[in-house]
Structure 1
């Protein structure tokens, strides 16, 4: 592990830790009464790697790679036995400069028993004059590094919209290809309620277009409810006109009745702070009090078809 403020990577031995516990080699106890292991009894080695060591990954061939936040580089160093059996254990063997402020790094399946250590991705916080700025925020940049040989080699600089992802993980593509393809959830599935590991179909969800309805009724406490059973499908929200009285509780039951995996739909009613995103087959329930009279637009905010802008409607709140 790296400590950021010290130029060393410290390697701890699991066997030494076990032995220190068995021998009760403690330096004392922490504030909670937990014994503190004697530092010298559990360290396998320290490697002077760089300025600002931060995050370490492994290639499965006896090497470790550590990001250096201050000196802007990735450093490769050897481990000890049994991972490394060569003549120079715990030694720096290569360095590659990084642009700029490298944080975490990622090697596919690094923390597994069988790392796929051919490439490393440096997840950098800044890009500093690397790419054209086209908006209010400068792009970040990731760097793809070949680590298959003795020397590391930067293959690609790539601008990205968002900052370095802490502890990002990668796995082999062929493992994903073995997974059963995603299927559209049964129409009317409530993704917040499950039965037998599957989303439960809600009794208020509509499964077909054409059966949408609006009902207004009074509760025993005297309050009024405008209840809506609706559907979302390219490129219509049904019903597209909802009428309620000022003070009504408006309860929306909305179902995305699409059968294509990519057909996401959103529902937004900005003036009342209502927003929801619905995957194909998903049912959502929304509720608010219509306490402001007027005519308010509701609309889909996921671009879903050439007629996306037509996917809208109106809430009419009468005095």
Structure 2
């Protein structure tokens, strides 16, 4: 296993120049914070960090199609879209009415919608915020959000989307039905007690109060019918059509079924018939049969190990579930049509993992056609597996062989860039990534930019106190390589990498102006700023591009 690429999404990333001056990324990041309708610190905003959790790859007929990937910001209730033609972020949406998010991200089997839901319920009654925790049932609501996807661009369209109001529990992970259960979604919940803590006021700590009931509730949602109901029986809140909870119940959109306490993982089998739920405080995996789910939940319990969390599948009727407390992966059988009689719903193997596994991933294991020989375990702790590199230790991916009679760990891979959460694995041949842009391409539209600089047509124009520059970038020069402006001028700088050679990436950095742009071959971007600092600024290429890389620079003179 190896890392090929990191993608800047919610957070500025300097090597890619993501969020450091280029219009193609600055505009995306800026649009990703709703400073008007959502409670956001104006002194600290806009948001430039996120707690990314769950990527969801676009699908066609329940199989990954390699067009787009979506990922949520658990902390701030946002979702982003990355186009897999160039592996760059094209949209960040601050989802209306969500102040946090965890449920999802998943797409429907043909990527008509991408789903995201609240984790912590949203405060909806702001008339008495100080006392709101005394009245959670009325003051807070959860939302299951179904964002309509533009099939040409992959972008999410709020005007065509809808939300279903759900109880003010804490919604957790979610998954989409497929094949026989297509049209339905499933969301775990916990803290159905609606505990809020208060351990400095003589009340139970939050984790104690949230562990009093015998079970929590699986939310079963008819999203396909919801899309119809939203047309006529919704109300608009902050620009989003919302189906009230009473309407969702009366229209048969929302059902609740008991599930294991404090669940963390709901996963639909490839044929859509079985829904597996792992409860963190219960050594069992609970499996729901879709064929019986609307009459009554017919759950089968069998012990797999301590702290079951998440399930993935293979194409032979096996489920693989992570065991956090036990630090292991358990393999079990499903029922018909895979296994029957005393061979169904049985624990068949277990392998130790190093250590404290959270999520796991089999190859395309959450699609209708799993296709792979391996499993990847995403482990929170590494402890003694690698060289000590300080007090913050890398986390650990482990590759597990599924082709032998007994599962076997093949290799470790340290992850020193953050906590590994959820992952998805797609066959490489499904990806149709571009190797170079046609010269002058705007990466936001994948069309020729009307402001792209062209070879032998470079220029500098002044209109009042606005200076507009068209610069071509190639080995090993910027043209023009000298730009003279006045203090206070507004600068509009168009840059085009006119290279056609794959991997001939160039950078454009202006020291002290916080501008740092990465230009892939053929890419055209624009940066705008006010020349408010006088001096001589040597802009230069930040990518080692040729033998004359160090000579690839120019001058911005501000007088």
Output the TM-score relative to the length of structure 1: 0.81
Give the alignment's Cα RMSD to 1 decimal: 2.2
Is the partner of 2:499 in helix, strand or coil? coil
Change (3 A) 1:233 1:161: farther
Q: Are positions 1:260 and 2:515 aligned together?
A: no
Q: 2:447 aligns with which of 197, 200, 211?
A: 200
Q: CA deviation at 1:189?
A: 1.1
Q: Counterpart in 1 of 2:335?
A: 80
Q: Are positions 1:97 and 2:97 aligned together?
A: no
Gaps of 5+ in 1: 21-40, 194-198, 219-223
Check the 8 A contact 2:380/2:420 in 1, yes or no: no
Q: CA deviation at 1:290?
A: 0.6
Change (3 A) 1:266 1:109: same
Query: Which has the higher Rg, Structure 1 or Structure 2?
Result: 1
Change (3 A) 1:242 1:183: same
Is the partner of 2:343 in helix, strand or coil? coil
Q: 2:411 aligns with which of 156, 167, 184?
A: 156
Q: Are positions 1:293 and 2:534 aligned together?
A: yes
Is the partner of 1:87 in helix, strand or coil? helix
Is the partner of 1:192 in helix, strand or coil? coil
Check the 8 A contact 1:133/1:139 in 2, yes or no: no
Change (3 A) 1:152 1:180: closer
Is the partner of 1:272 in helix, strand or coil? coil
Q: Are positions 1:279 and 2:279 aligned together?
A: no
Output the TM-score relative to the length of structure 2: 0.48
Q: Counterpart in 2 of 1:112?
A: 367
Q: Counterpart in 2 of 1:50?
A: 305
Q: 1:213 aligns with which of 447, 459, 477?
A: 459
Change (3 A) 1:60 1:259: same
Gaps of 5+ in 2: 1-276
Change (3 A) 1:130 1:180: closer
Q: Counterpart in 2 of 1:11?
A: 287
Q: Counterpart in 2 of 1:170?
A: 425
Check the 8 A contact 1:117/1:148 in 2, yes or no: no
Structure 1 CA distance for aligned equivalents of residues 476 and 355 of structure 2: 45
Is the partner of 1:298 in helix, strand or coil? strand
Structure 2 CA distance for aligned equivalents of residues 44 and 81 of structure 1: 14
What stretches of structure 1 move > 6 A for 4+ residues in a row? none
Structure 1 CA distance for aligned equivalents of residues 352 and 338 of structure 2: 26
Structure 1 CA distance for aligned equivalents of residues 389 and 436 of structure 2: 37
Change (3 A) 1:243 1:151: same
Q: CA deviation at 1:183?
A: 4.6
Q: How many residues align?
A: 283
Structure 1 CA distance for aligned equivalents of residues 364 and 372 of structure 2: 8
Q: 2:554 aligns with which of 310, 313, 317?
A: 313
Structure 1 CA distance for aligned equivalents of residues 411 and 417 of structure 2: 18
